[in-house]
Structure 1
Amino acid sequence: MIHASQDILTRGLWRARRVVLGLALTLGLALLHSGPAGAASLQVSPISLEFSPAEQAQSVWLSNSGTATVRAQVRVQQWSQPDGVEQLSATRELVASPPVVEIPPGGKQMVRIIRLQPAPPAQEQAFRLIIDELPEVVAPAGAATSPGLQFLLRYSVPVFVALTEPVPANNKPSDISALSASLRTSGSQLVLSVSNAGPRRVKISQLVHVDAEGRRTPLAPGLLGYVLAGQRMQWPLNLPAGQVLPANGTLKAKFNADLEEQTLPLASNRS
């Protein structure tokens, strides 16, 4: 079995193309195995969930845009970032019902995500909803049986249980005062480390380096990732061969759903 990656965070079909190219991405997998060649037909909506403190359940819809029945397994895992590394672990805080679904062509299936401990949390909780497309047990009648590759998707949907009621969307930029970052060299690669001392996760995207003359070097053109509440995350930054970032530059990025970028507070500790 070959493993490649997919994460559906705001990336849609672009992410699916990256799966076909076999690029590794955080916390999402697509599985390939011998079987009839075919395009992925399993779709998931919404692409993220946030529970209010006392909310007990939310719904996710799985749909099948293909011409054959799709089977999928749904489960929830705790999400943490010990030592700056993404980690998933078993949990009984949230469960999916039903855990296995079968969706006919053109059909939809609702899955309930249920909190077993509905009391308000002591801090924001983070989970990942893992949705695995399962291989066909029996090929449809009349289907070609020639060998090939079938892409089986794994969707990884972020799920949060908030400390307070969700704040209505406004035009104000995200408060990133709880973030602190450092940039260091590890061999020939730059590593960005970001700590979040705040009560809510922060999503970082479109990271660029801006030098003293205003020249911009893209470091993460799309989604870089999340820093969970009270935790630290780190990412390797890939530069073009032979390129070195000036030490007197700044890092800018977009945070959460902001339209405008902000400067990421960066300690000058590169070595």
Structure 2
Amino acid sequence: MTGFLHIVYSAFTIVFLATTLQANSTIVPVIVDVEASGRGVVEITNLRTQPTLYNIEVLKWAVVDGVDEYEDTRLFIVSPPSFKLHPGKSKKVRLRFRGKRGTPSEQTFRLIVAEVPSEVKKAAEGTSTLDVTLRHVLPVYVAPQTPGGPKLSWTITTQGDTATLRATNSGNQRATVVSVGLHPNPNQENTPVYANNSLAHVLAGSWREWQVKLPEGMLPGKAVYKLTGLNQTYQLANHE
């Protein structure tokens, strides 16, 4: 069986917004694109009512057999790697990439921002609680020598009442998939049935899979996925 894949996406990034990742802090930007100089910067603001300690680190990020993997790296210098912010105050964190630039494919990392409240909050008379550490995880990208964007190809397999959609990225930059779903019947524009937890990054040279539970009597027809911004249609090959 073959069908059609309809996509909405921006070539290789999510819409850039200054976003509050948690009610306790804002971190801007939420995607770090390292400049040609090898430098990047994020600004962190403490929205808590008490001082907060921030610990910053960068990890190497890869997607292996559809799963995120992280490992320590010394390719980034973070300044400062740890600091305290008083309520309402902001701090810029500067990143310097000291690895090889201009590689064939985009290099991918994760910026880990751990926020640790420095004061105990009184939960009730005679008791107290300590806020747990919150970890924010932001993508960090080092551009390839010749940016070419993502090149996604899709396949579908079915087993019982479950369809599995796989996206393989043969391009040299990431694609960020916002949602993945299937229309109930071929050649119809019905409301799609979407996979749970659709949001995922398909890094250069990697693949991701999504599973869609098929309602009784449903035929996997057109498949729909969204990134942001640009409409395209792809032939969807079935490899059962």
Q: TM-score range with shorter-chain normalisation?
A: 0.7 to 0.9
For the 8 Å contact 2:17–2:29, the answer to whether it is kept is: no
- The correspondence for 2:114, drawn from 105, 108, 132, is 132
* Paired residue type of 2:179: Q
Alignment of 1:104-183 (within 5 A): 104-117=86-99, 119-136=101-118, 138-139=119-120, 146-148=127-129, 150-164=131-145, 178-183=151-156
* Paired residue type of 1:206: S
Which range moves more in the overlay, 116-125 or 181-190? 181-190
Corresponding residue number in structure 1 for 2:74: 92
**CA deviation profile, 1:212-251 (whole Å, cap 9, x unmatched):** 22212241588521111111222344x37x556413x121
Change (3 A) 1:152 1:235: farther
Per-residue deviation at 1:188?
5.8
Percent identity of equivalent pairs: 26
Change (3 A) 1:244 1:42: farther
Q: Which runs of 5+ in 1 are unaligned?
A: 1-8, 17-39, 168-174
* Paired residue type of 2:80: P
Change (3 A) 1:63 1:186: farther
* Paired residue type of 1:163: P
Corresponding residue number in structure 1 for 2:232: 262
More strand as a share of residues = 2
For the 8 Å contact 1:72–1:101, the answer to whether it is kept is: yes
Q: In structure 2, how many angstroms separate the alpha carbons of the residues matched to 1:102 and 1:205?
A: 34
**CA deviation profile, 1:13-72 (whole Å, cap 9, x unmatched):** 6x75xxxxxxxxxxxxxxxxxxxxxxx4122110001124x3221111111012100111
For the 8 Å contact 1:71–1:101, the answer to whether it is kept is: yes
With a CA cutoff of 8 Å and minimum separation of 6, indicate the structure with the bigger relative contact order: 2
Q: In structure 1, how many angstroms separate the alpha carbons of the residues matched to 2:69 and 2:89?
A: 33
Corresponding residue number in structure 2 for 1:229: 204
- The correspondence for 1:253, drawn from 206, 225, 236, is 225
* Paired residue type of 2:206: Q
Per-residue deviation at 1:192?
2.4
How many residues in Structure 1 have an aligned counterpart in Structure 2?
222
Per-residue deviation at 1:209?
1.7
Cα RMSD (Å) of the superposition?
Answer: 3.2
Give the match's secondary structure for 1:150: coil
Per-residue deviation at 1:113?
1.2
Corresponding residue number in structure 2 for 1:62: 44
Give the match's secondary structure for 2:65: coil
TM-score, length of structure 2 as denominator length: 0.77
* Paired residue type of 1:209: L
Change (3 A) 1:189 1:133: farther
Q: In structure 1, how many angstroms separate the alpha carbons of the residues matched to 2:57 and 2:38?
A: 17
Per-residue deviation at 1:87?
0.8
Corresponding residue number in structure 2 for 1:196: 169
Corresponding residue number in structure 2 for 1:219: 194
Q: In structure 2, how many angstroms separate the alpha carbons of the residues matched to 1:131 and 1:186?
A: 40
Per-residue deviation at 1:78?
0.9
Q: In structure 2, how many angstroms separate the alpha carbons of the residues matched to 1:91 and 1:67?
A: 34
TM-score, length of structure 1 as denominator length: 0.69
Q: Which runs of 5+ in 2 are unaligned?
A: 1-15
Change (3 A) 1:41 1:209: same
